[in-house]
Amino acid sequence: MTLQFVYNGQDFVTDAQRSSGNGLAPEPSNFDLTIQAGWSDRMNRGLFRYHLDDLQTRIMPGPHGYVAQLNIQRGLQRRKPQEILSIKQEFNANQFNFNKIDPEEVIFEMTKVVEGRKEKGQLHERWRVVVLVNVSPLEFGHCLFVQEPSCCLPQVLTSFSIQVGIESVLLSSDPGFRVGFNSLGAFASVNHLHLHGYYLHHELQIESVPVKPLVPEKGFYRLLDFPAGFLFYTESECVVKVARAICQVTDFLVESNTAHNLFLTRGSPPSDQIQDEKDHCSRKGVRIAVWPRTSCFGAKDESAFNVALCELAGHLPFKNKKDYELSTEKDVKDVIEKYLLPEAEFHTLEQHLTGRLTEL
């Protein structure tokens, strides 16, 4: 029988404070313990395509502090990605999907309750979430959150899936737990609705980078640093409202055939200035970065440096040693720049989305 993980709002960790240098690891939450134990068990039982040891890691010199990691096996052993031809591509039951996995890959199913009842209109039985291991992991704990696999939803975000992603971050006491999403045309490998989750125990600038307020009452901001994108912020009491606002943005991006990546992480409250140490280390809420970008269709080259949710957030998985050792921050920025929208197109999109969220 599949393990059931049942939670409510009282299980959210109100502040996963980032260490200011004492090096002490946070006490893991029940959510962390469940994912980590289940993931390690599957790794020890040989259910992955390769054994993941501690990855060789370096902080790349430069103001962005990129976290580079060498993961050669992912490039060699990963399942061949599907050929994607459209951001609105329909689900195809004949292709690989998460209904075809080994049942042993499932770690648990998530259910949210409120005062002893399943949460009406949000997380309920019809929309269960299955959490399974990613058999070609990027990092420790790499798992997938799949919204009701039997519904065969394509890789297009729903308000519910966004809410699940935010709440998963809030359930973790570890500021290094991240969640992300790649749309079709933005290097999604499987056209079956899923989000990624994994642990990366290195601080990323996206956690505290200054932002410009656009519609702050909806938690909507613009990232001021490279790469150009949008940012939402929420603490535990506003998750549903912010998830709906994010979905308004991603729905429009799908409608306009604009590929996009999302990255969800513990972060400091939004500010347009460099923060003092106390605010910089605060992790009471979740930052959700949304990057509209140019589309990439066809099957991707797994040996290449492909720009998806990790790379845009400053986590750089390299698949060959030469690139890992020799790439500079400028090299990385030059590659990422090719995938971003032209400045004029991004500015037009910013104006439209600001107006759209203001009217709601």
Predicted local distance difference test score (pLDDT) of residue 125: 42
* CA 33, chain centre distance (Å): 20
Predicted local distance difference test score (pLDDT) of residue 124: 44
Distances (CA, A) of 347 to 28, 229, 230, 259, 341: 41, 10, 11, 16, 9
**More confident call, 23 vs 220:** 220
Q: What is the mean pLDDT of residues 20-24?
A: 53
Q: What are phi and psi of 6, to 5 degrees?
A: -110, 135
Which 3-state string (H, E, C) describes the chain?
A: CCCEEEECHHHCCCCCCCCCCCCCCCCCCHHHHHHHHHHHHHHHCCCCCCCCCCCEEEECCCCCCCEEEECHHHHHHCCCCCCECCCCCCCCCCCCCCCCCCHHHEEEEEEEEECCEECCCCCCHHHCEEEEECCCCCCCCCEEEEECHHHCCCCCCCHHHHHHHHHHHHHCCCCCEEEEEECCCCCCCCCCCEEEEEECCCCCHHHCCCEEEEEHHHCEEEECCCCCCEEEEECHHHHHHHHHHHHHHHHHHHHCCCEEEEEEEEECCCCCCCCCHHHHHCCCEEEEEEEEECCCCECCCCCCCCCCHHHHHCEEEECCHHHHHHCCHHHHHHHHHCCECCHHHHHHHHHHHHHHHHHC
CA-CA distance, 159 to 249, in Å (whole number)?
11
Q: What confidence tier does 22 reach under pLDDT thresholds 50, 70, 90? A: very low
**Do residues 257 and 184 touch, judged by C-beta distance below 8 A?**
no
Predicted local distance difference test score (pLDDT) of residue 82: 82
pLDDT digits (tens, 9 = 90+) for 168-188: 999 999 999 999 999 999 999
Q: What is the average pLDDT score of the chain?
A: 91
Residue 315 appears among annotated catalytic residues:
no
Q: What is the mean pLDDT of residues 9-19?
A: 89
**Do residues 103 and 205 touch, judged by C-beta distance below 8 A?**
no
**More confident call, 125 vs 190:** 190
Predicted local distance difference test score (pLDDT) of residue 113: 87
pTM here is: 0.94
Predicted local distance difference test score (pLDDT) of residue 144: 98
pLDDT digits (tens, 9 = 90+) for 243-300: 999 999 999 999 999 999 999 999 999 987 766 667 778 899 999 999 999 998 865 5
Predicted local distance difference test score (pLDDT) of residue 6: 94
Q: What is the mean pLDDT of residues 94-98?
A: 96
- 11 has a pLDDT exceeding 50: yes
Identified catalytic residue from 194, 196, 260, 315: 194
- 229 has a pLDDT exceeding 60: yes
Q: What is the mean pLDDT of residues 152-159?
A: 97
Count other C-beta atoms under 10 Å from residue 109's C-beta. 16
Q: What is the mean pLDDT of residues 238-246?
A: 96
- 114 has a pLDDT exceeding 80: no
Q: Which residue has the tokens 């599949």?
A: 2
Predicted local distance difference test score (pLDDT) of residue 230: 98
Predicted local distance difference test score (pLDDT) of residue 302: 56
